[in-house]
Amino acid sequence: LGIKTFSIEPFDGQKTGTSGLRKKVKVFQQPGYLEAFVQSIFFALPEIPGSGFDDGANDQPVLVLGGDGRYFNKEAIRTILRLAAANKVKKVLVGQQGLLCTPAVSAIIRERKLTGGIILTASHNPGGPNADFGIKYNTRDGGPAPESYTDVFYQWTRRIKEYRIAVDLDSQDQDPFACVSLDRPQVYEFPMQENDSNFTIEVIDSANDYVSLLQRIFDFGLLRQLFQRSDFSMLFDALHGVTGPYGKRIFVDELGAPMDWLRNCHPLEDFGGGHPDPNLVYAAELVSCCDPKENANAPEFGAASDGDGDRNMILGRGFFVTPSDSLAVIVANASDAIPYFRNGRLVGVARSMPTASAVDKVAAKENLNFFETPTGWKYFSNLLSTGKAQICGEESFGTSSDHIREKDGLWAILCWLSILAYRNVGKTPVGSFIGVQQLVEEHWKIYGRNFFTRYDYEECDATAAGNMMSGLLQYQEHGDYSSLEKVVGQPVIVADDFTYKDPVDGSIAKNQGIRFVFADGSRIIFRLSGTGSTGATIRMYIEKYETNPSKIFADAAETLSDLIHVALDVSRLEAFTGRTAPTVIT
Ligand code: VG1
Ligand code: CO
């Protein structure tokens, strides 16, 4: 194979957000767009010390490549393989059918000590020719590239003039890798003319590394016993995302679940037209299947994951577990119920700033280190890698541990199953099963309850959203919170635009969300999403802490309604954006 160079003009806006570059498929389909972005990464990496592409690297780079199976996935894989071959990458491992869930990529990079990985996903955003595509680079620790990487990527996208691509020397225009089939695991070698060595493409089983990692973390024997109980059943909904085949492998093949415990487990390029986003709105069908009022056979446990498999939603019978509570319950039970965390392995936890403070209470009681980071999984990497924290979570349905450097939907689901299994060992007869709701309510009785809701206003006018945020900053500068304090009945003790200083490398992340924190722990937070592809998405997060036993079982929407109203008032959200209601409430 040879290498051909094409001239190119930089594209505007190839700047990564909370989690990689996310744009409409149509944007990615512009001639040269994908090439320009990926080539910018390959130009940038040699400039980044420790990237494995730099001078100090001992070996030639090896990458893993795969995606959530959305529209444009396979085409993008073909192009990226040609760019990789032309940019000194020695070998690329590709998931079978081009599929790899985000946590599996992280696991593969770590288990096989690779240089990095490229994940093709727009996560929970819809897919299809008119919807979204995305691309993300993960570094050798298995985590999303931090800003010290993505800043250099972006600089390159501003000044790129050419890209390099592998060509078949005999038939210059043909895809030299046309013979590579993604249908089954196989190794392909291609001699490269330039450096007299081979470029290797290895199609790998998408699940093996990841599933065997999970088997080392959890007690699959105990889980199998849970699955055999006549008083237990579950429903897992993959929302037509990438976790379908993984769910089948883990729940059916390994743990013995019947096939009808799985829903929407066939990956589709457009996710069946829905949002592959596990929340009360976009996974409403699963929610009603798990509600005994709507389904007489509602299972004991329900769970869903998002398009790329890093998010999770946990349900009981007619009961929704908020992600902030889920994190707290997992942390409170991990050392008993999950073999990986036994023997004092759990010493610290972290949550993103907008995540409700439920885990803080567990950390305080159990004497664990506690960290509060900006939104986005990349901020947890340093804490996980230096042993400061082992379990982390975000209110956006993301939870995971230091077994990898991404959030992990199936891991969180297996945590819950493990807790249920552990708590119900020896529990007979039928009817005495301790379910999800009972577990969570017991937790509230011990730690208090952090009522929480998030309002999303998707695809707002970007200028209007920006103006609203500036308005809130001005309000903070004036420093008169009396109207707020009057409604809430509590003084404001912190009002700022959240700044985070990484305790490991000292890097500083500013402007991470406007927050008002009250003396009783109530909070009002506003931030703009960094993952949308059109306009601006405003997120409003509301929290209230309650320890009064007579109030902890109250309705969340009612409990939070005063705070919600005053937050909307103060922000003048409706005046700025014209929106009278949010797109999604979780
Ligand atoms: C959202 C969530 C954030 C999450 C990110 C990526 O970001 O709020 O918590 O880490 O999505 O999730 P934003 O900037 O839109 O609020 V996923 O499942 O895309 O990898
Ligand atoms: Co995701």
The interface predicted TM-score (ipTM) is 0.97
Residue 194 confidence (pLDDT): 79
Q: Of all protein residues, whose CA lies closest to atom 10 belonging to ligand 1?
A: 376
Q: Whose CA is nearest to atom 18 of ligand 1?
A: 123
Q: Which ligand 1 atom sits nearest the alpha carbon of residue 308?
A: 18
Over pLDDT 90: what percentage of the chain?
Answer: 89
- Region of poorest pLDDT, from 196-205, 424-433, 450-459, 568-577: 424-433
CA 379/CA 352 separation, integer angstroms: 9
pLDDT band at 173 (very low <50, low <70, confident <90, very high): low
Residues with CB under 5 A from ligand 2 (ion): 123, 306, 308, 310-311
Closest atom, ligand 1, to C-alpha of 352? 9
Q: pLDDT tens digits for 362-388?
A: 999 999 999 999 999 989 999 999 999
| 420 pLDDT higher than 90 | yes
Distance 124 CA to ligand 2 centre (A): 5
User: What residue ranges define each of the domains in the chain, with the CATH number in brackets?
Assistant: 2-206 (3.40.120.10), 209-447 (3.40.120.10), 449-585 (3.30.310.50)
Instruction: Yes or no: say if 188 and 200 are a contact pair by the CB < 8 Å rule.
Output: yes
The closest residue, in CA terms, to atom 2 on ligand 1 is 396
Q: Which atom of ligand 1 is nearest to the CA of 394?
A: 9
All residues at 6 or more sequence positions from 117 whose CB lies less than 8 Å from its CB, including other chains: 63, 64, 65, 105, 106, 108, 109, 137, 138, 142
- Contact, 483 vs 489, CB < 8 A? no
Q: Please list, in sequence order, all residues whose beta carbon lies within 8 angstroms of the beta carbon of residue 480, skipping any fewer than 6 positions away.
A: none
Distance 288 CA to ligand 2 centre (A): 23
Determine the atom of ligand 1 nearest the C-alpha atom of 530.
Answer: 14
pLDDT, tens digit, 9 for 90 and up, residues 268-277? 999 999 999 9
- Mean pLDDT, the chain, rounded, equals 94
CA of 396 to the centre of ligand 1 (A): 7
User: Would you tell me how many other CB atoms lie within 10 Å of the CB of residue 216?
Assistant: 10
Q: What is the dihedral of CA 380, 384, 385, 386, to 10 degrees?
A: 110
- For ligand 1, atom 19, the nearest C-alpha belongs to 123
DSSP string, 339-362: GGGTTTT--EEEEETTS-THHHHH
Predicted local distance difference test score (pLDDT) of residue 478: 85
Give the model's pLDDT for residue 531: 75
What are the beta bridge partners of residue 200? 91, 189
Which residue puts its alpha carbon closest to atom 11 of ligand 1? 531
The confidence score (pLDDT) of residue 59 equals: 81
Question: Taking residues 399-419, what's their average pLDDT?
Answer: 97
Q: Cα(409) to centroid of ligand 2, in Å?
A: 9
In sequence order, which residues have a C-beta less than 8 Å from that of residue 457 and are 6 or more positions away? 465, 537, 538, 539, 540, 573, 577, 579, 582, 583
Q: Is the pLDDT of residue 111 over 80?
A: yes
The preferred substitution site among 19, 498, 525 for testing ligand 1, maximizing ligand atoms within 8 Å of CB, is: 19
Ligand 2 centroid distance, CA of 530 (Å): 13
Paired sense of beta strands 514-518 and 523-528, if any: antiparallel
How far apart (Å, rounded) are the C-alpha atoms in residues 395 and 125? 17
Q: How confident is the model at residue 426 (pLDDT cuts 50, 70, 90)?
A: confident
Contact 582, 277 (CB under 8 A): no
Amino acid at site 22:
R
According to DSSP, the residues that pair with 404 across neighbouring strands are none
Q: Measure 78 CA to ligand 2 centroid, in angstroms.
A: 23
Digit-coded pLDDT (tens) for 434-475? 999 999 999 999 999 999 999 999 999 999 999 999 999 999
Ligand 2 centroid – CA 130 distance (Å) = 19
Looking at this protein, which amino acid is placed at residue 330? Answer: I
Asked whether residue 530 carries a pLDDT value surpassing 90, the answer given is no
* H-only helix segments in 19-132: 25-28, 33-44, 73-86, 102-111
Ligand 1, atom 1, lies closest to the CA of 531
Bridge partners, residue 499, by sequence:
none
Return the pLDDT at 430. Answer: 64
pLDDT band at 480; cut points 50, 70, 90:
confident
Residues known to be catalytic: 123
Mean pLDDT of 166-183: 87
* Cα–Cα distance list, 53 to 61, 141, 378, 403, 498 (Å): 6, 14, 20, 25, 34
Residues within 6 Å of ligand 1 by CB? 18-19, 123-124, 306, 310-311, 352, 375-377, 394, 396, 398, 529-531, 539
Q: Quick one: which atom of ligand 1 is closest to the CA of 22?
A: 19
Tell me how far apart the terminal alpha carbons of the chain are, to the nearest angstrom. 52
Q: Closest ligand 1 atom to the C-alpha of 123?
A: 19
Closest CA to 289 of 229, 325, 237, 228: 237
* Distance set, CA 32 to CA 39, 78, 178 (Å): 10, 14, 19
If you take atom 20 of ligand 1, which residue's CA is the nearest one? Answer: 123
Give, for ligand 1, the residue of 101, 531, 586 to mutate: max count of ligand atoms closer than 8 Å to Cβ.
531
Please state the rounded mean pLDDT for residues 406-423: 97
Q: In terms of Cα–Cα distance, which of 416, 418, 396, 421 is closest to 407?
A: 396
Does pLDDT of 307 surpass 90? Answer: yes
Q: Provide the pLDDT for residue 169.
A: 84
The whole-angstrom separation of Cα 242 and Cα 544 is 35
Nearest by Cα to 175 from 63, 80, 66, 65 = 80
Question: pLDDT category, 119, cuts 50, 70, 90?
Answer: very high
